[in-house]
Structure 1
Amino acid sequence: MRYWLMKSEPDEASIDHLAHAPEKTLPWTGVRNYQARNFMRDGMELGDGVLFYHSSCPQPGIAGIAKVSSAAYPDPTQFDSSSPYFDPKSSQDKPRWLLVDVHFVRKTPLIPLSTLREHAELADMQVLARGNRLSITPVTEAQWRFITEHLL
């Protein structure tokens, strides 16, 4: 099993949206970064753990736990000309962008970014790296264990 941190703007898809979605599952749409897409395509497996992270908000941080609940498949928003994630260079026969479904496990007390920075055990988390803008980053087993056992 692998572990991931997946960022979402809470006004678009929050941990509460996930908790109240049909079957408590949402497609992780709108990823338009090749490295993040490749994590979904090549790295994620069913059941992988997800730290659900609220970003671009007054208090960014980990807001819950989810799990990967599908293999990667084409993101339909790339084909929808009314979507902010529309990509005119993508086609049905050669989609550029993928998504995975994520399933709600539990909401947690918010762990702010500032709290993550306080712990030496988490110093090498990619979300803490200067200039990191990836919406999906790997989390080591040791980082996952520290967060789930000591901060939640």
Structure 2
Amino acid sequence: MSWEIFLQTITGSLAAIGGWFLFDLVREFKSFKAETKSDVISLKNSRADFQNTVRNAELSIALRVNEMQKIHNDFSLKIKSTLNEIENDMAQLKIMVEVASDKVGQFDSFLTKSLRLSQALNEKLKKHDKELESLKIQMGNTRIIKS
């Protein structure tokens, strides 16, 4: 019987050691589970923070893109408006040049007519001068008696 007691004692001791190891294993598992749960919650929070940061960055980029598109559209409208003004000014300038050209043409025509008239008058003046000289010569030969 002493072997039986010895075996029971060893078996009981081994069972106690096994129970203690099992209890320690369960305690370690619970601790690991709590730490893992804490890590998972921390990772979820970090992920949520990262997602919020990404969303904020996307919104910021989208707002900046919209702002740039608005600036581009405003600038494009200003350029189109300026180009239209330039085209209108060029059309008015063209009309003014055409009017000035017509007036220059009329003035040229007037000057040409004036030159022809002046030449004709000069010719007549020369002719009259010759006739006057001729008359002076004839009158020089003829004496006018004064009474």
Q: Shorter-chain TM-score category?
A: under 0.3
Query: Which structure has more strand as a fraction of its residues?
Result: 1
Q: Which has the higher contact order (CA 8 A, sep 6+)?
A: 1
Structure ID, larger Rg: 2
TM-score by length of 2: 0.11
Query: Which structure has more helix as a fraction of its residues?
Result: 2
TM-score by length of 1: 0.11
